[in-house]
Amino acid sequence: MAALLDVILPVFLVMGFGYLAVWKRYFSDTGVDGLMKFTQNFAIPSLLFRAISTLDLEQNFDLALLGSFYAGALAGFAAGLLGARFLFGRDWEDSVAIGFCGLFSNSLLLGLPITERAYGVSALQANYAIIAIHSPFCYAVGITAMEIARNRGGSMRALPRKVLKGMFNNALILGITLGFIVNLGGVPMPEVATDAIDLMVQAALPAALFGLGGVLYRYRPEGDMRIILFVAAVSLVLHPLIVWGLARANDLSDAALRSAILTAAMAPGINTYVFANMYGKARRVAASAVLIATGLSILTVWLWLSLLP
């Protein structure tokens, strides 16, 4: 429990500083928008580029591992989407954005440090395999579903073009794609360039968390608490429970099982708000679900750790 507090409480503190700064008007709404634009379009794409360009892509790319994790993620997406639509009466576009919260777990900000603290650096190989395709997979699913929802009743012939355009207009996907090009192509990176990117990377997560705190003040959970708690239950319980069953059925090793379950058991990541903000849908639910589910994960992750071999 102490290790979990050491990992999660700093995240809350940085978010809290952002929330307090906007609440007390030390930081304006315009400043929050600019900071989120910086993190979404520059700092976090740089982080993803740097991580993937240096990753050993041949290591631990196990189809059973990836199939178990992403089948669970799709189940979380379906549960969030259908629950939002039929239990809470949200429109289809809102429902897709809420379903994305059940799809996109915080694999980077929480999944990596918690796995490392629990099992050591050597346990992270399977985490990196999951993370390498996490954003492209989730954004492909989310953008496809959103474009279908927005275009219902119209022709589907233009759907592939819209999905590809939506994906590759996203700086996060561009960062990942360039990372794969450098990695697979063996493209040498000048040291001065990597040093500059590393400076940008250092700002990515704290700036994103501070900005998210400001966003949380703007989208406080007023009247949405039931659906926010529903999203938290999908993310923290349903997603890892399905991954557990599939991982056992696929006879994953203990190391792969731990990485898959802990990554699935994380609260929705910052990118759930990024996605909601892209389309202007369910932003309050997405932003608040990140905060509330992260708080609840102190207990739920402790439970999952106690159950893992």
Tokens of 252: 């994953």
Helix/strand/coil for 10: helix
For tokens 């694999």, the residue is: 107
Whether 84 contacts 99, CB under 8 Å? yes
Tell me the mean pLDDT in the region 180-193.
Answer: 91
The Cα angle at residue 127 between residues 126 and 133, in degrees rounded to 5: 100
**Prediction pTM value:** 0.81
pLDDT digits (tens, 9 = 90+) for 255-269: 899 999 999 999 998
- 203's CB contacts (< 8 A; 6+ apart) are 43
Q: Tell me the domain boundaries of the chain.
A: 2-20+47-307
- 274's CB contacts (< 8 A; 6+ apart) are 40, 172
Tell me the mean pLDDT in the region 226-235.
Answer: 96
Q: Which long-range contacts (CB under 8 A, 24 or more apart) does 75-83 make?
A: 75/238, 75/239, 75/242, 76/102, 76/103, 76/234, 76/235, 76/238, 76/239, 76/242, 77/102, 77/103, 77/141, 77/142, 77/145, 79/234, 79/238, 80/230, 80/231, 80/234, 81/145, 83/230, 83/234
Which parts of the chain fold into alpha helices (H)? 2-23, 29-38, 44-53, 63-82, 92-103, 112-119, 125-132, 134-150, 159-168, 171-185, 191-218, 225-233, 239-249, 254-264, 270-279, 283-307
The DSSP result for 173-209, as a single string, is HHHHHHHHHHHHHT----HHHHHHHHHHHHHHHHHHH
Chain mean pLDDT for the chain: 87
Q: Evaluate if residue 60 carries a pLDDT over 80.
A: no
For tokens 């940085």, the residue is: 14
pLDDT-based confidence at 59, cuts 50/70/90?
low
Q: Please state the separation of Cα 17 from the chain's center in Å.
A: 21
Domain 2-20+47-307 CATH (choose: 1.20.1530.20, 3.40.50.300, 1.10.760.10, 3.40.630.10): 1.20.1530.20
pLDDT digits (tens, 9 = 90+) for 29-51: 899 989 988 988 899 889 888 87
pLDDT-based confidence at 24, cuts 50/70/90?
very high
Closest among 288, 286, 294 to 98, alpha carbons compared: 286
Tokens of 187: 């493209």
- Max distance between CA atoms of the chain, in angstroms, equals 54
So what's the pLDDT on residue 166? 67
Whether 267 contacts 297, CB under 8 Å? yes
Q: Evaluate if residue 220 carries a pLDDT over 80.
A: no
pLDDT digits (tens, 9 = 90+) for 92-138: 999 999 999 999 998 877 887 888 878 887 788 788 889 878 888 89
- Please give the Cα distance from 295 to 106 (Å, whole number): 13
Whether 173 contacts 135, CB under 8 Å? yes
Tokens of 73: 């993620």
Q: Evaluate if residue 3 carries a pLDDT over 60.
A: no
- Please give the Cα distance from 102 to 272 (Å, whole number): 9
